[in-house]
Amino acid sequence: MTPKITPDHFSRGAAVYIRQSSMSQVVDNTESRRRQYALADTAKAAGFASVMVIDDDLGRSGSGLIERPGFQKLMTAVCTDRIGAVYCIEASRLARNDVGS
């Protein structure tokens, strides 16, 4: 674990952001989804007692053409200091366009 993660981060808990861009990915790429959900166990093993899993955006594209309520939930949790870490398989998935952000 990196020394940049402090006891304060652990006290706030962690969030696991899960997303696949299309419904066909949700149906066909079950291994990716399983790996994403397994990040909750990784966060708990790292010492986060509270882990919020955000999977509202399964099957929603990051193109900016549709809303992603899960991303909004994640950003609210980050901006209000409710979480101390974000776990995701690919961080670039967080940087995609979002309607209303």
For 43-82, the pLDDT digits (tens) are: 999 999 999 999 998 887 766 667 889 989 999 999 999 9
- Count structural domains, the chain: 1
Residue 94 pLDDT? 65
Any domain includes 61? yes
d(CA 70, CA 68): 5
Residues ≥6 apart with Cβ < 8 Å to 70: 17, 18, 19, 54, 55, 56, 57, 60
Q: Is residue 44 part of a domain?
A: yes
- Position 49 in a domain: yes
Which SS3 state, helix, strand or coil, does residue 2 take?
coil
Provide the domain limits for residue 59: 7-95
Q: Which of 21, 32, 50, 61 is catalytic?
A: 21
Per-residue model confidence (pLDDT) at position 101: 43
DSSP SS3 for 24: helix
- 10 CB-near residues (< 8 Å, 6+ apart): 47, 48, 49, 84
CB 21 within 8 Å of CB 70: no
What is the helix, strand, coil percentage profile of the chain, to 5?
A: 45, 10, 45
Is 18 among the domain residues? yes
22 is known as an active-site residue: no
Q: Binning pLDDT at 50, 70 and 90, where does residue 42 land?
A: very high
Domain assignment present for residue 20? The answer is yes
In a domain, 2, yes or no: no
Spatial neighbors of 7 by CB under 8 A, at least 6 apart, are none
**Does a structural domain hold residue 54?**
yes
Q: What is the pTM of this model?
A: 0.80
